Amino acid sequence: MGFDVCFPGCGALVFERYYRELLNFLARKVGDRDLAADLTQESYARVYAAKSGDVREPRALLYTTARHLVTDHYRRAVVRGQLPSDDPAMDDPDAAMGPESLEPDTRLAGRQRLAAIERAVAGLPPRPREAFVLYKLDGLSRSEVADRMGVSVKTVETHLQIAMDACLRHLQALDGKVDSGMRPTRASTRKRENHEP
C-alpha cells in the first residue's frame, strides 16, 4: 500500500509535491533542519497510518498534522526540562512557531486578496487603470503620472481615487463586508453637485 490509499489518484505525487515545502515550513518553525525532517516524516507517516480515505485537501491535512506535532514537541521539551516552563512556546505554541505570514492559511488569504485587487484593476476604465498601474506598480509620483498621461495632477488624483474605491469594494466583498457608508469619490460627488437643481 502506498499514498494512493490516503490520497486516491495522487499517490507519490502528494509526497513529492509537498515534502520539501512542508520540510522548509517546519524548519522555520523549529529552527532545526534535522528535527524538521523528523517531524515531516512523522507527519506523512501519521497521515498514511490514518488511511483516511478520500482526502480533498492533502496539503491542509499534512500541515495540520505537522502543527500538532510541533506543539507536542514543545510540550515534551518542557517535560524533559529542555525548555523552561515559562517559555512563550508553552503559553501559545503557535506564537513560537514563527511569523504568521508563513502560515499556509495566511498565504492563501493573501493570494485571494491579490486576486480580488487584480479583478478590480482589470475592471477599471482605461485611464484610472493606467494611473493606478503607473502610481502603485511602477512607483511614479502623482506629478510624474500626470506628465506621462498628459493630464493634471488633480485628474490623476481623481483616477487614483476611482481605482482605490474599486479595490476597496472588491476587498470588502471578499471579506463579506459591504460598507454602505463608503466615502464617495470626488468625481461622483461633483457629478451629483452639478446635476442638482
141 with 116, same domain: the answer is yes
66 with 126, same domain: the answer is no
Residue 7 lies in a domain: no
151 with 185, same domain: the answer is yes
> What's phi and psi for 103, nearest 5 deg?
-70, 140
pLDDT range class, residue 185, cuts 50, 70, 90: very low
Residue 87 lies in a domain: yes
Q: How many domains does the chain have?
A: 2
Of 74, 99, 124, at which residue does a domain stop?
A: 99
The reported pLDDT for the residue numbered 52 is 58
* CATH number reported for the structural domain that contains residue 111 in this entry: 1.10.10.10
Residue 1 lies in a domain: no
Q: What is the mean pLDDT of residues 76-84?
A: 69
The reported pLDDT for the residue numbered 196 is 42
Q: What are 84-125's pLDDT values in tens digits? A: 555 454 455 555 454 555 566 777 777 888 889 999 999 999
- Judge residue 62's burial from the number of C-beta atoms within 10 Å of its C-beta, 0-12 exposed, 13-18 middle, 19 or more buried: buried
Mean residue pLDDT of the chain comes to 76
The reported pLDDT for the residue numbered 121 is 92
Of 99, 119, 152, at which residue does a domain stop?
A: 99
70 with 139, same domain: the answer is no
The reported pLDDT for the residue numbered 178 is 61
Half-sphere exposure of 184 (CA within 13 A, CB side): 8
Cell 480580488 maps to which residue? 116
118 with 80, same domain: the answer is no
What percentage of the chain's residues is helix, strand, coil (to nearest 5)?
Answer: 70, 0, 30
Q: What are 128-141's pLDDT values in tens digits? A: 999 999 998 888 89
37 with 92, same domain: the answer is yes
Handedness of CA 58, 76, 71, 24 (dihedral sign): negative
Report which of 79, 165, 81 is spatially closest to residue 123, judged by C-alpha positions: 165
Domain hosting 120: range is 107-195
The reported pLDDT for the residue numbered 119 is 92
The reported pLDDT for the residue numbered 176 is 82
Rounded Cα distance between 136 and 95, Å, is 33
Q: What is the mean pLDDT of residues 69-83?
A: 77
Of 99, 117, 136, at which residue does a domain stop?
A: 99
Residue 126 lies in a domain: yes
Residue 38 has pLDDT above 80, yes or no: yes
34 with 57, same domain: the answer is yes
